[in-house]
A = this chain, B = another copy of it.
Amino acid sequence: MAKTVETIATALNISITTVRLVLNNKARQYRISEKTQKRINDYVAEHGYTVNHAARSLKLNKTDTLGLIIPRLSNVFFATLAEKLEIRCREAGYQLMISCTYSDLKQENALVDALVDRNVDGLFVVPSSLQAQNHHLKRTSRPLVLLDRDFDGTDTSLVVSDNRRGSIALTQAMFSAGQLPLFFMAGDTEQPTIKERMKGYTSVLEAQGIADCQQWILETAHNRREDGEKLMQQFLARHNAAPPAFIASSLPVLEGALSVLRSHFGFIPADINIGTFDEHPMLGFLSNNIWSVRQNEDAWAEQAVDAMLHLINGGDENVRAIVPMTLIHRARASL
């Protein structure tokens, strides 16, 4: 359906080069006659023309396509990040291919392989482990920008949130609010993001002279709803009462924890002080005092795409961007 340069050239009885020149706006530069230009432009106006990306890719060995590999789109944070990245990539002339790993290592590696096989010009990845990260590095010769998790061990380009400081601000605010103990429900403690959040938490409490705040930390293996449920169930079994205050290491954990409270008490006790990482408008549905730490997806996207373009254009310094977080407080509903 799409006309080729050759079609146009033969139809107009001009050479392919000439057509290409005006199509690529080099007409001026190569001083193509006005008349010829007009003929070509008229033809295109009538019959249309679009480059054949496949042919172009084959010749130039680049696809004008970037890959993004994240755990899951149904997680609002990653969805928003994907959205922001997609906008900026498109602005830069790249299409984004988004794929999800569902936190499955095999899947993650397979996805990197698939996108590399499709010859993407670069890859954004949220790695699940150092091992995976190394696989990706080995697998592609194209630029790689890691997101969200700093497993260290390489000098690959990287964009993460300042989880430590974010957690410190959160913990300080909640400590000042005065309800103790302030528990921490941590999913997937192996993950750098969570580790940093825990470090921020403990650093504040220790500075406040809380001797053994480790006892206030509840750990589980993953960052899912079920894990939050499990933690809160365990808590209730042990203490037989709701915690006066707690921090959830992520929204899914919070959802799980609160759903258990709701079904245990019949409602979510409004006097619990709640803290969580990641922000969501629906947190306003709670009657509680609630603090959330927002990640700035827009800044992430900007930094990540900048880093990517830099690498694509032959730059070799890797970027390590640490994006500030924002603490948001919703005051407990007054009665």
Footprint of B on A, CB under 8 Å? 1-2, 50-55, 57-58, 61, 63, 72-74, 76, 79-80, 82-83, 86-87, 90, 95-100, 114-115, 117-119, 141, 225, 255, 258-259, 262, 266-268, 280-287, 333-335
Contacts and interface: CB of A to CB of B under 8 A. Distances in A.
A268 B286 CA distance: 9
B63 A73 contact: no
Contacts of A86: 73, 98-100
Contacts of A80: 73-74
Nearest to A274: B285
Contacts of A2: 117
A226 to B, nearest CB: 12
Contacts of A50: 117
B97 A114 contact: no
A95 B74 contact: no
A100 B83 contact: yes
Contact of A334 (B96, B117, B255, B267): B267
Contact of A281 (B58, B225, B287, B334): B225
Contacts of A259: 281, 284
Given A53-B117, A58-B58, 19 more contacts: A2-B117, A51-B117, A54-B63, A55-B58, A74-B80, A74-B83, A83-B100, A86-B99, A87-B100, A95-B97, A95-B99, A95-B115, A259-B281, A259-B284, A262-B333, A266-B333, A266-B334, A266-B335, A282-B285
A97 to B, nearest CB: 6
For A52, A76, A285, the residue with the greatest tally of chain B CB atoms inside 10 Å of its CB is: A285
5 contacts: A72-B83, A73-B86, A74-B80, A83-B100, A255-B282
A255 to B, nearest CB: 5
Contact of A98 (B52, B96, B280): B96
Contacts of A333: 262, 266-268
A193 B307 CA distance: 41
A182 B225 CA distance: 33
Contacts of A61: 54
Nearest to A98: B98
A181 to B, nearest CB: 23
Nearest to A255: B281
A97 B100 contact: no
Contacts of A54: 54-55, 57-58, 61, 63, 119
Nearest to A266: B334
